[in-house]
């Protein structure tokens, strides 16, 4: 049988199309733009057809069919929005709302709740159910996830995520019918490094992350496409920001990297990233103390110091800095004569997601170690050793300098600290330049397999903080070393023309899903 | 051409101030003995306003004095003047409540949308118009102050005419 190659004719809402055999009606309908409501169906999970929301009318079929599991047959004629289909769905919503508390005003899912949407759309504004609603209360399923049993519609997405993707079948539906609820078999809390995905898959507000509970309304958040900085996997995320804070990160679908999922570590890392005390103004040394200056003064001081020929340059960079920033620093160091730079990589235990083996919480807990390596920086466990006795120019780019030895950088002729927070060790710098976090600028990270992925600016930087590639390129222009870059895309274009691993890449090629650098293992999969 | 000055002869009777003064005094004496009060004696006498008058806000409270607000965030969302600040939080019973709830009455345009949108009928605009304060800061009403207001709630619909809803 060559079923997979066979194309079937199907008519959906009057539109004829050809789909491969085995396609479900729901998937085929999506191709013609017909939106079929669904709760239990999730593209990343199996479909048990328990919610009965995706019922459609098929000509010749005695009753409406569940489109999420029904494969298309040849010459099938499907109507997704006829009176019969609508009536069937309306009845399904009415049953789901029977015991649903309708506490939308205090429910965290309001605004992103599929039940709310369809109940409103189908006009279920009054109930015919006269019995008192069943009240079941709330419980925790993990230390961080709260379960509101009343709101649950028993779609079993969370159960199936734990079964099929996490391969850790801890969740079950307990009891039957309207008394059914989700819990672990023993009632104990469970822990799994990917557990918060069950909050994402929940179509209603039954499973809620404590980190986000009552924090913000869904419609208050600004969503920005970004990359998780938690490890070298580089999960595609969309950052939810409110009032210049990152409130949450949700996975953004990318079949090559993280599918629909991401780990709990990443989500927790990214919340409030960059909040708190920051370096907000450039500072230049005046005798014994660092004096705040404005940007032109800072650049004057820096270009003057560089003009005094401090000697060859060494650097300690952070593997959390973007490719653009690292490249700009490399250019600057080449002007002075580069002695190379080092970066350190904090590590942690690895965790994998068996149902989607491409996605792991990687050992390297930084997003851009590979990118730093490709730009010629050395990975090192003892980053301070090489810099300690250095007498020339010393640059520190976004490294926290935590654990730096006493008197770090005092030997250097010129010590420039570019970063976000002023560690005591950074106070001995000659010039301190405030830079931005990944969320406060656009840029790219290169993940563990060499896949280059873009992230967009979600927040404003504090005070006068600017991305280092912006200030760095202004400085290079003053030194007469190349043009000034005004956007991250321009820096990346220059980078791609200079570094062979990035050849042929630019921001348009990368798009929102990223692309593998040629010659890397990602190139084969990215195509 | 020279500018000419024209002198108009006025009749003495009409141009005399004496006559007008006496006329005025007569009116004054008339009102002394039989006063006609067309003006309102504010503040002793308050102005009667419509039950649908939209004045400064008031928060409804439970019997135990807690605000009825569940911090759902609909009023700051609907507010066209952006005058409501709300920070939700979780209390010891796991209930959602407003940790911070402030209305800037200077910014408010008194449209009454907040009252209309409130799902628990907590925030109301009120039948109230005496708002004078000694400082501008006092016009940012916090939750405590909103709960302490005593004026009647605004009727969104004409109470006489149920069809108006």
Average confidence (pLDDT) over A363-373: 93
Mutate which of A101, A103, A106, A113 to disrupt the B interface (most B C-beta within 10 Å)?
A106
Tell me whether residues A105 and B119 touch, CB distance under 8 A. yes
Tell me the pLDDT tens digit for each residue of A391-400.
889 999 999 9
Whether A105-112+129-272 shares its CATH topology with A283-523 is answered: no
Partners of A338 in the beta sheet?
A: A313
B88·A214 Cβ contact <8 A: yes
Average pLDDT, chain B: 89
Q: What are the chain B neighbours of A138 within 8 Å (beta carbons)?
A: 94
A214-231 pLDDT, tens digit per residue, is 888 999 999 999 999 999
- Render pLDDT for A152-179 as a digit per residue (tens, 0 to 9): 999 999 999 999 999 999 999 999 988 9
**Which pLDDT score, from 0 to 100, does residue A287 have?**
85
Distance in Å, alpha carbon of A212 to nearest chain B alpha carbon: 11
CATH assignment of A2-96, given 2.40.50.180, 3.40.50.2300, 3.50.50.60, 3.10.20.740? 3.10.20.740
User: What tokens appear for A91 in the block?
Assistant: 């009845």
List the structure tokens of B135. 């400082």
Q: Is B111 annotated as a binding residue?
A: yes
Contact A321, A368 (CB under 8 A): yes
> What's the pLDDT at B143?
95
According to the model, what pLDDT value does residue A525 have?
46
* pLDDT at site A1: 47
Q: What is the pTM of this model?
A: 0.86
* ipTM value greater than 0.95: no
Domain ranges of chain A: 2-96, 105-112+129-272, 283-523
Over residues A415-436, the mean pLDDT reads: 93
- Confidence tier at A280 by pLDDT (50, 70, 90): very high
Question: Is residue A2's pLDDT more than 60?
Answer: no
How confident is the model at residue A500, as a pLDDT? 87
Computed from CA positions of residues A317, A319, A322, A327, in that sequence, does the dihedral angle turn out positive or negative?
positive
Residues 6+ apart with CB under 8 A from A388: A405, A408, A411
* Residue spans per domain, chain B: 57-160
In this structure, which CATH number among 3.40.50.740, 3.50.50.60, 3.40.50.300, 3.90.1010.10 belongs to the domain A283-523? 3.40.50.740
Q: Mind telling me how many Å the CA of A109 is from chain B's nearest CA?
A: 11
pLDDT digits (tens, 9 = 90+) for B47-62: 889 989 999 999 999 9
Upstream peptide bond of B43 is cis (omega within 30 degrees of 0):
yes
CATH no. for A105-112+129-272: 3.30.70.20
Which pLDDT band, with edges at 50, 70 and 90, does A518 fall under? low
Whether the CB-CB separation of A57 and A25 falls below 8 Å is answered with: no
Angle subtended at Cα A44 by Cα A42 and Cα A45, rounded to the nearest 5 degrees: 70
Q: What is the mean pLDDT of residues A23-31?
A: 92
Q: Which of A259-263, A483-487, B102-106 has the lowest mean pLDDT?
A: A483-487
Mean pLDDT, rounded, for A130-143: 90
Tokens of B163: 């069809």
* CATH class of the region B57-160: alpha beta
Residue A3 token pair: 């079923």
pLDDT digits (tens, 9 = 90+) for A98-108: 889 888 999 99
């Amino acid at each position: 049988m060559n079923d997979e190659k066979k194309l079937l004719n199907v008519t959906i809402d009057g539109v004829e199309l050809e789909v491969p055999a085995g396609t479900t009606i729901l998937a085929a309908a999506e191709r013609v733009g017909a939106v079929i409501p669904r709760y239990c169906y999730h593209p990343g999970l199996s479909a048990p057809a328990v919610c009965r929301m995706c019922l459609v009318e098929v000509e010749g079929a005695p009753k409406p069919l569940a489109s999420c599991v029904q494969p298309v047959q040849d010459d099938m004629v499907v109507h997704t929005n006829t009176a019969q289909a609508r009536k069937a769905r309306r009845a399904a919503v009415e049953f789901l709302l029977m015991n649903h508390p309708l506490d939308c005003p205090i429910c965290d899912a309001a605004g992103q709740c599929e039940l709310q949407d369809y109940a409103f759309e189908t006009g279920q504004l009054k109930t015919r159910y006269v019995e008192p609603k069943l009240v079941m209360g709330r419980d925790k399923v993990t230390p961080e996830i709260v379960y509101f049993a009343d709101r649950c519609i028993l779609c079993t997405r969370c159960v199936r995520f734990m079964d099929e993707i996490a391969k850790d079948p801890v969740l079950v539906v307990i009891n039957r019918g309207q008394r059914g609820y989700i819990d672990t078999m023993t009632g104990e809390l469970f822990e799994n490094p990917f557990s918060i995905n069950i909050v994402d898959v929940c179509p209603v507000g039954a499973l809620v992350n404590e980190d986000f509970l009552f924090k913000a309304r869904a419609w208050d958040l600004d969503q920005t496409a970004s990359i998780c900085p938690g490890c070298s996997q580089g999960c595609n995320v969309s950052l939810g920001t409110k009032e210049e804070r990152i409130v949450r990160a949700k996975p953004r679908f990318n079949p090559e990297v993280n599918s629909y999922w991401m780990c709990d570590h990443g989500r927790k890392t990214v919340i409030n990233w960059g909040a708190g005390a920051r370096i907000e103004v450039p500072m230049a040394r005046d005798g014994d103390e660092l004096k705040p200056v404005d940007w032109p003064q800072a650049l004057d001081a820096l270009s003057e110091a560089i003009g005094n020929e401090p000697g060859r340059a060494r650097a300690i960079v952070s593997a959390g800095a973007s490719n653009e920033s690292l490249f700009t620093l490399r250019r600057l160091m080449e002007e002075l004569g580069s002695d190379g730079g080092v970066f350190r990589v904090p590590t942690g235990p690895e965790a994998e997601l068996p149902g989607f083996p491409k996605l792991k919480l990687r050992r390297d807990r930084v997003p851009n170690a590979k990118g730093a390596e490709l730009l010629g920086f050395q990975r090192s466990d003892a980053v301070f050793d090489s810099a300690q006795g250095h007498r020339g120019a010393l640059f520190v780019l976004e490294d926290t300098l935590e654990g730096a030895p006493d008197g770090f950088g005092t030997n250097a002729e010129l010590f420039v600290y570019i970063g976000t927070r002023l560690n005591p060790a950074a106070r001995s710098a000659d010039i301190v330049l405030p830079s931005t976090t990944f969320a406060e600028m656009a840029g790219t990270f290169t993940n563990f397999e060499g896949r280059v992925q873009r992230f967009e600016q979600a927040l404003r930087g504090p005070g006068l903080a600017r991305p280092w590639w912006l200030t760095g390129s202004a400085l290079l222009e003053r030194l007469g070393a190349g043009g000034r870059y005004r956007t991250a895309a321009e820096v990346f274009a220059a980078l791609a023309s200079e570094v062979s691993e990035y050849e042929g890449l630019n921001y348009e090629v990368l798009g929102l899903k990223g692309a593998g650098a040629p010659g890397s293992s990602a190139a084969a999969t990215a195509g | 051409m020279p500018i000419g000055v024209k002198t108009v002869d006025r009749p003495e009777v009409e141009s005399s101030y004496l006559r007008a003064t006496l006329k005025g005094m007569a009116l004054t004496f008339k009102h002394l003995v039989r006063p006609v009060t067309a003006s309102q004696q504010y503040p002793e006498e308050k102005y009667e306003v419509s039950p649908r008058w939209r004045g400064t806000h008031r928060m409804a409270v439970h019997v135990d004095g807690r605000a009825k607000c569940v911090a759902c965030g609909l009023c700051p969302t609907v507010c066209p003047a952006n005058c409501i600040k709300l920070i939700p939080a979780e209390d010891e019973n796991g209930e959602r409540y407003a940790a911070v709830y402030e209305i800037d009455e200077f910014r408010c345009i008194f449209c009454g949308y907040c009252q209309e949108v409130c799902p628990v009928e907590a925030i109301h605009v009120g039948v109230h118009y005496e708002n004078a304060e000694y400082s501008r800061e006092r016009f940012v009403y916090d939750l405590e102050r909103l709960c302490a207001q005593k004026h009647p709630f605004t009727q969104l619909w004409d109470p006489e005419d149920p069809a108006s809803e």
